[in-house]
Structure 1
Amino acid sequence: MKYIIFDFDGTLADSTDVFIKAWNLFAPKYRYDPIDIEDVIATKHMSLSQRAREYHFPMHKLPLIMPKVYRYFKENVKDVKLFEGIKEMLNGLAAEGYQIVVLSSNAKENIELLLKQEGVVSVSEVLTSSRIFGKDTVLKKFMRQNQVTPDQILYVGDELRDIQACNKVNIPFMWVSWGIDGFDLVEKENPKFVAHKPEEISEILIGK
């Protein structure tokens, strides 16, 4: 295994509070329901489309709303932190020779801003998907450009849509429990590994 590709929000970055504030900021204009952290926790077992129905979110307006949300993220990036232990885990993997890549539907500029803010220098590349359900396309392009096969990659993420994208292109997946989606959602997609804290990622991959 050569490349470890990480999802960003909910996997590396503890950005839930900022996204809740952004969601609620635009709720009146786009006529969907505001939420709080209790709502996020209560809907961990729901898919993205189920959550949208629960809070009357207009999925057809997603391409219009998400750029505004990511702009809000950039303006409030100082309020976003990496989860505890993430920086050390990334540094440890890089020291063992793994190439660390981030793949997200968040804006590349936002990701690079937070990595710089947190002093992370172990990430070699940041990839973004312009479509929230388009990560499999980005992964296929990444494999083609780097001339690597799926068995040379591990994707680490927290959401159902991440593992579904990986399964489309046969890339093994590690699910982390501290993110958005609950295990009951991803279990049926057969993740290769499960981690409950960042140091477990290191333990699984390098035994320490």
Structure 2
Amino acid sequence: MIKLITLDFDGTTANTMPTLEQIAVRLMTNHYSLEKAEAVEKYRMTTGLPFEQQIELLFPEEEQNQTVIAQFEKEKIERIFDLPLFPDAKETINYLQNHNFLVAISSSTFQATIEEYCRLKGLEVDQILGYAKGFEKGKDHFDFLMKKFNLTPEEIIYVGDSLKDCERAQGSNILFIAKIGMFSKEQFDSISESKLAIYSLSELKDLVWTLND
């Protein structure tokens, strides 16, 4: 039985990905001699990871990496608080909590940033987990949540909008639900074991009952 719905943040709960992609692609084209289309593809295929890990994976040991990472994080923090939640995010989370589901956010964005964003937007969840070195989205976060709320993997679902989200959930035996946006249903289906997908968070209000039926 599902007891905890865990949500990714960027691109799933908050409509931030177009802006973050714009920042990242500009920095990648400026610093690594990439064409825009190639930069977009590289960024998208590594989304779900902390940005510093994306850069180190894509451009190992390049001398400009730390400059790019620092500039991205600077611009992100300058802009993210002005970006909106998805229109149905707050109502869906309230519905789930009112029906005795736990709701957590698990993200590769720094935790303090998510906490401040949620405070400003009036969004309340049962747990916020963000990125810190040695503690990141995936096994670290799921282990924390299972211990805190005394849950098994079978009692948790993870909703995310990236292929890396899918890989990390499945790597911890957590049921994954894709949020279609950056990636298509077909792209998720190529790696998703569950083949479950939604186009908006409000669809969770019916899906959780189907999963618990």
Distance 1:203 1:190 in 2: 20
Tell me if structure 2 keeps the 8 A contact 1:129–1:135.
no
Please name the residue that 1:106 is paired with.
109
Using the size of structure 2 for normalisation, the TM-score is: 0.76
Aligned-residue offset at 1:88: 0.7
Conserved 8 A contact 2:15-2:86: yes
Distance 1:134 1:60 in 2: 23
Q: Which residue of 2 aligns with 1:54?
A: none
> Contact between 2:111 and 2:131, CA under 8 Å: does it hold in 1?
no
Residues 1:23 and 1:34: Cα distance change in structure 2 (over 3 Å): farther
Separation (CA, whole Å) in 2 of partners of 1:171 and 1:206: 17
Q: Deviations over 1:26-58 (max 9, x none)?
A: 33663253748xx85xx59x7339xxxxxxx52
Match of 1:202 among 195, 202, 205: 205
Aligned match of 2:54: none
**Under a length normalisation based on structure 1, what TM-score does the superposition of the two structures give?**
0.78
Given the alignment, which residue of 57, 66, 72 partners 1:69?
A: 72
| TM-superposed deviation, 1:146 | 3.4
Q: Distance in 1 between matches of 2:206 and 2:115?
A: 27
* Aligned partner (choices 22, 45, 48) of residue 47 of structure 1: 45
Instruction: State how 1:18-97 maps to structure 2 within 5 Å.
Output: 18-24=19-25, 26-27=27-28, 30-33=31-34, 35=36, 43=41, 47-48=45-46, 58=59, 64=66, 65-66=68-69, 68-97=71-100
Taking only the aligned residue pairs, the percentage that are identical comes to 21
Aligned residues: 194
- Equivalences for residues 132-147 of structure 1 within 5 A: 135-147=138-150
Unpaired runs of 5+ in structure 1?
A: 50-56
Q: Which moved more, 1:19-28 or 1:161-170?
A: 19-28
SS in 1 for 2:28: helix
Q: Does 1:129 align with 2:131?
A: yes
